[in-house]
Structure 1
Amino acid sequence: MSNNEVTFKHLSVEQLHESLEQGKYVVVDIRDPNSFEQGSIPHSNHLSNDSIGDFLRDADFDAPTVVCCYHGISSQQAAQFLISQDFTDVYSLDGGFTQWQALYPNDIAK
């Protein structure tokens, strides 16, 4: 694998929850706006086709960035997209917001 073939990594909801208070990760949520408004991982940023330009313009490309979707499937494609935009440390959240909600019902931002 050459240097230009960097791929995203996987992160469990437990790993993210353990380090959330430390602000170690930038969390981006790619679910639909209504779902995001209903509840999200604390301190996460909603990322949509409308906001991606602003996010890319302002982003720290070296910050550990975690992509969250519903179940951890769509986030993999989005994580690979961020890698293609020169992000260096990107994770797909395994289990997505559904698993976060199941394990940490008291840690949801509304």
Structure 2
Amino acid sequence: MSDKSASNEERFMHMQVEELAQVLNDKTHVVVDIRDATSFVNGRITDALHLTNESLADFLREADPDAPVVVCCYHGHSSQQAAQFLVSQDFTKVYSLDGGFTQWQSQYPDNISR
């Protein structure tokens, strides 16, 4: 079975909403939200950046690739693909937020910006 060096391929990690809540105040992690614009405007994790096809190039150019990045979507599925993409762009610490904004909103309703 040929496993074309998949074992040493860099991959994203998973983060639970509880873990994000613990590090959010430190401002050490960058949270990027890939949901649609209306959802983002109606509620997002405090200090999250809206990452869209239009803003992606600027983000890749301006972001610190060594800063931890947490990708947030609706439920934690689409964020996995986006997180893997950021890893492929030489970001070193990338997390997909398990449960996404839906779980964040249910557990941390006071930590949402509108």
Task: Please classify the TM superposition score into its range, dividing by the shorter chain length.
Answer: over 0.9
Distance across 2 between alignment mates of 1:76 and 1:56: 17
Cα shift readout 1:23-46 (whole Å, capped 9, x = no counterpart): 121000000011000010001100
Q: Which residue of 2 aligns with 1:38?
A: 42
Distance across 1 between alignment mates of 2:64 and 2:110: 29
- Normalised to the residue count of structure 1, the TM-score between the two structures is 0.96
One of 13, 25, 29 as aligned partner of 2:29:
25
Q: Number of aligned pairs?
A: 108
Which consecutive unaligned segments of at least 5 residues does structure 1 have?
Answer: none
- Normalised to the residue count of structure 2, the TM-score between the two structures is 0.93
Q: Which residue of 1 aligns with 2:101?
A: 97
Instruction: Spell out the pairing of 1:30-109 with structure 2 (5 A cutoff).
Output: 30-109=34-113
* CA-CA distance at 1:96 after TM superposition: 0.2
Letter in 2 for 1:75: S
Distance across 2 between alignment mates of 1:107 and 1:64: 20
Over the residues paired in the alignment, what is the CA RMSD in angstroms? 0.6
* CA-CA distance at 1:56 after TM superposition: 0.4
Distance across 1 between alignment mates of 2:65 and 2:34: 18
Which consecutive unaligned segments of at least 5 residues does structure 2 have?
Answer: 1-6
Distance across 1 between alignment mates of 2:48 and 2:32: 5
Distance across 2 between alignment mates of 1:12 and 1:40: 16
Instruction: Tell me the percent identity.
Output: 62
